[in-house]
Amino acid sequence: MKKILIVDDHADIRRLIRMTLEFEAYNVFEAEDGEGALAVAMQEQPDLVLLDVMMPGSVNGLQVCGTLKSLPKPPRILLLTARGRSEDLEAGLQAGADAYMVKPFSPLKLMETIDQQWEV
């Protein structure tokens, strides 16, 4: 079963995303900040990370993205960005992100976008 890590500081957003991911058979993990994300990622080796760019704390989403993408077997990374933050998006793609969704996003579009990541 594919592993997906949700990284978002907003607990309700994580909950909604988790429930959406459970439409399919995914093993879902969560982290609420950058440091937590790196810790879970190292331990669980997720296949894909849903990564909020804007998070409080010492490690931001872009740093998480850069660090994960420098691993020997990097996960696919799907960025979650706020509307109107195109500079985040650009920096995220620079940092190696594979795809992005702008919040608020359609759950079905999320499932499709994740599905496409497996085909690459």
Partner 1 sequence: MNANSSVFGVYAMSTLHSNCFSDAAGLQMEQLIGDLGRMYRERNEALEEVASAHHEALFRLSLAADLKDDDTGVHIIRIGYLSEALALVLGQSPAMARMLRKAAPMHDIGKIGIPDAVLKKPGAFSSLERATMNQHSEMGAEILGRSRIPLFQLAAELALAHHERWDGGGYPAGLQADAIPLTGRIVAVVDFFDALTMDRCYRRAFADDVALQMLAEQRGSAFDPHIVDVFLANAQTFIRLRDDINRTRPTFNQLVDNG
Binding site for partner 1 (CB under 8 A): 9-12, 14-16, 19-20, 22-23, 27-32, 36, 39-40, 44, 107-108, 111, 119
Nearer to partner 1, 30 or 98 (CB): 30
Buried b (16+ CB within 10 A) or exposed e, 82-113: eeeeeebbebbeebebbbbbeeeeeeeebeeb
Nearer to partner 1, 28 or 65 (CB): 28
CB of 60 to partner 1, least distance (A): 17
CB of 22 to partner 1, least distance (A): 6
CB of 120 to partner 1, least distance (A): 8
Nearer to partner 1, 80 or 91 (CB): 80
Between the CA of residue 101 and those of 1, 10, 58, 62, 92, what are the distances in Å?
23, 16, 23, 15, 12
Element (H, E) at 107: helix 107-118
Q: Do 89 and 43 contact (CB within 8 A), yes or no?
A: no
Element (H, E) at 30: strand 27-31
Nearer to partner 1, 86 or 109 (CB): 109
CB of 66 to partner 1, least distance (A): 21
